[in-house]
């Protein structure tokens, strides 16, 4: 084809090749049948526009571009919204970008001051993430559908300690947490893990599930394994060598356990006995508390768990046993692999745009 307005496009598995670009109206996509871009849906138009703009940013144009987009998430599948958010972040590294959105995925969570709330023709600067949540009507549970990657735990103390470990020991995970691409949340009990995992997977999130290595945790592993879209190697157990049943609290050093025990009843923690290896942390602790004539109801155990988790999160290096640190390394590696695999797949499937512009 000849002339500046002519356009040649090939849409292949490996990407898009564009030559002689002059008029966006002239674009045709060939997915078996050559079709004008004007006849495609808004989602396809948005993605192609992003690809072209991303190519412009990659070329490092010396001219400054102001990109303003109204609701770029409209008509896009949730997974495509995440990919668009990544493209917009990359473009914003080179050019000025303004986005009007109702999607929490596109919120700048690392630099809150970059967000503005527009309501009733007035503009409000953002200083707290709660302002954005209120404006968008986002509840904490919504991170199950807005995060690309999700780590599910049984309870809140597991969530607290594992979040701290991911942030402290992994740059990949720390960045994903800061960007809102990775979330760690608890299912409020082992029995809720399968349904929460299914919901997150249906929302196109990748999921890692962490369960206690006790009777309740083992009981849900089979249910989790039956979820076709959940890879079995993304189900991790909090296992402690030598114990037939183990939970998060079994990962703490004896020094930390003694601190909690002494603070609670003012007595030293009794020496461990071989028979204790077959007992759960809760049963052992209840036995110790009962022997000291202290309260030993479930709420008392919950209080001790919260104290232990808070202390552990404040100083993980000194709070975890050597076995626990190796276990955490395995969990972190699993989460990093989950993130890297999706990023690698997205890179392979990403539309690669090569545009040749004729000099006038």
Average pLDDT for residues 220-245, to the nearest whole number? 91
Mark whether 294 and 325 lie in a shared domain: no
Mark whether 330 and 205 lie in a shared domain: yes
φ, ψ (nearest 5 deg) of residue 192: -85, -10
Burial class (CB in 10 A: 0-12, 13-18, 19+), 266: exposed
- The pLDDT score that the predictor gives to residue 117 is 93
* 11: in domain: no
Cα–Cα distance list, 149 to 122, 152, 266 (Å):
35, 10, 43
- The pLDDT score that the predictor gives to residue 343 is 65
Residues 220, 191: contact at Cβ < 8 Å? Answer: yes
Number of H helices, E strands in the chain: 13, 12
- In this predicted structure, the answer to whether residue 18 has a pLDDT above a threshold of 50 is no
- In this predicted structure, the answer to whether residue 7 has a pLDDT above a threshold of 60 is no
Handedness of CA 277, 235, 173, 202 (dihedral sign): negative
Average pLDDT for residues 264-270, to the nearest whole number? 76
Mark whether 308 and 201 lie in a shared domain: no
Binned at pLDDT 50, 70 and 90, residue 8 comes out as very low
CATH assignment of the domain containing 217? 3.40.50
Binned at pLDDT 50, 70 and 90, residue 27 comes out as confident
What SS3 string covers 204-247?
A: CCEEEEEEEECHHHHHHHHHHHCCCCCCHHHEEEECCCCCCCEC
What tens digit of pLDDT does each residue of 226-237 get? 887 899 999 999
Average pLDDT for residues 23-31, to the nearest whole number? 64
* 175: in domain: yes
Largest CA distance in the chain: 92
- In this predicted structure, the answer to whether residue 151 has a pLDDT above a threshold of 90 is yes
Mark whether 334 and 199 lie in a shared domain: yes
- In this predicted structure, the answer to whether residue 185 has a pLDDT above a threshold of 90 is yes
* 288: in domain: yes
- The pLDDT score that the predictor gives to residue 247 is 95
Mark whether 213 and 296 lie in a shared domain: no
- In this predicted structure, the answer to whether residue 223 has a pLDDT above a threshold of 50 is yes
Average pLDDT for residues 343-359, to the nearest whole number? 43
Quote the domain boundaries for residue 281. Answer: 248-313
Average pLDDT for residues 185-203, to the nearest whole number? 87
pLDDT above 90 covers a percentage of the chain that reads: 34
pTM here is 0.60
φ, ψ (nearest 5 deg) of residue 354: -125, 110
What tens digit of pLDDT does each residue of 80-136 get? 777 788 888 888 887 888 999 888 778 887 688 889 999 888 999 988 767 887 787
Mark whether 337 and 190 lie in a shared domain: yes
More confident position, 39 or 247? 247
* 16: in domain: no
Helix (H, G, I), strand (E, B) or coil at 149: strand
Average pLDDT for residues 323-333, to the nearest whole number? 96
Specify the length of the chain in residues: 360
- In this predicted structure, the answer to whether residue 242 has a pLDDT above a threshold of 60 is yes
Cα–Cα distance for residue pair 351/140, rounded to 1 Å: 33
* 48: in domain: no
Mark whether 205 and 331 lie in a shared domain: yes
Answer left, alpha or beta for residue 243, where phi above 0 means left and psi between -120 and 50 means alpha: beta
* 274: in domain: yes
Mark whether 181 and 153 lie in a shared domain: yes
Cα–Cα distance for residue pair 72/42, rounded to 1 Å: 10
Binned at pLDDT 50, 70 and 90, residue 60 comes out as low
- In this predicted structure, the answer to whether residue 160 has a pLDDT above a threshold of 90 is yes
- In this predicted structure, the answer to whether residue 58 has a pLDDT above a threshold of 70 is no
DSSP 113-125: GG-EEEETTEEEE
Beta strand 96-100 with 66-70: parallel, antiparallel or unpaired? parallel
- The pLDDT score that the predictor gives to residue 107 is 83
Q: How many domains does the chain have?
A: 2
Neighbours of 182 (CB within 10 A): 28
* 327: in domain: yes
Mark whether 165 and 281 lie in a shared domain: no
- The pLDDT score that the predictor gives to residue 295 is 76
- The pLDDT score that the predictor gives to residue 200 is 82
C-alpha distance across the termini of the chain, in Å: 18
Mark whether 226 and 260 lie in a shared domain: no
- The pLDDT score that the predictor gives to residue 356 is 38
* 92: in domain: no
Mark whether 325 and 206 lie in a shared domain: yes
- In this predicted structure, the answer to whether residue 72 has a pLDDT above a threshold of 90 is no
- In this predicted structure, the answer to whether residue 333 has a pLDDT above a threshold of 70 is yes
Average pLDDT for residues 155-171, to the nearest whole number? 96
Average pLDDT for residues 206-221, to the nearest whole number? 94
Mark whether 168 and 221 lie in a shared domain: yes
């Amino acid at each position: 084809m000849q002339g500046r307005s002519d356009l040649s496009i090939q849409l292949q598995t490996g990407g898009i090749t564009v030559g002689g670009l002059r008029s966006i109206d002239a674009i045709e996509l060939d997915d078996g049948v050559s079709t004008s871009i004007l006849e495609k849906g808004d989602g396809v138009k948005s993605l192609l526009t992003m690809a072209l703009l991303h190519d412009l940013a990659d070329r490092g144009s010396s001219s400054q571009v102001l990109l303003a987009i109204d609701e770029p998430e409209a008509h896009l599948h949730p997974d495509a919204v995440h990919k668009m958010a990544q493209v917009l972040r990359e473009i914003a590294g080179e050019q000025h970008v303004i986005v009007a959105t109702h999607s929490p995925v596109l919120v700048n969570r690392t630099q809150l001051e970059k967000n503005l709330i527009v309501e009733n023709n007035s503009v409000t600067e953002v200083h707290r993430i709660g302002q954005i949540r209120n404006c968008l009507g986002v509840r904490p549970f919504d991170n199950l559908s807005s995060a690309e990657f999700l780590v599910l735990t049984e309870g809140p103390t597991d969530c607290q300690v594992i979040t701290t470990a991911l942030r402290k020991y992994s740059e990949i995970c720390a960045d994903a947490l800061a960007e809102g691409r990775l979330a760690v949340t608890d299912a409020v009990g082992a029995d809720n893990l399968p349904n929460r995992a299914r919901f997150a997977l249906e929302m196109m999130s990748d999921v890692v599930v962490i369960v206690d290595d006790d009777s309740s945790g083992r009981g849900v592993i089979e249910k989790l394994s039956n979820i076709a879209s959940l890879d079995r190697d993304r189900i991790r157990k909090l296992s402690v060598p030598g114990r037939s049943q183990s939970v998060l609290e079994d990962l703490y050093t004896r020094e930390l356990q003694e601190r909690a025990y002494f603070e609670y009843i003012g007595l030293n923690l009794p020496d461990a006995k071989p028979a204790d290896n077959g007992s759960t942390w809760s049963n052992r602790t209840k036995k110790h508390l009962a022997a000291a004539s202290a309260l030993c109801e479930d709420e008392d155990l919950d209080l001790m768990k919260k104290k232990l988790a808070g202390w552990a999160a404040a100083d993980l290096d000194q709070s975890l046993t050597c076995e626990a640190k190796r276990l955490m390394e395995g969990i972190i590696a699993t989460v990093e692999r989950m993130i890297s695999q999706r990023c690698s797949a997205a890179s392979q499937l990403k539309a690669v745009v090569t545009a040749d512009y004729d000099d006038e």
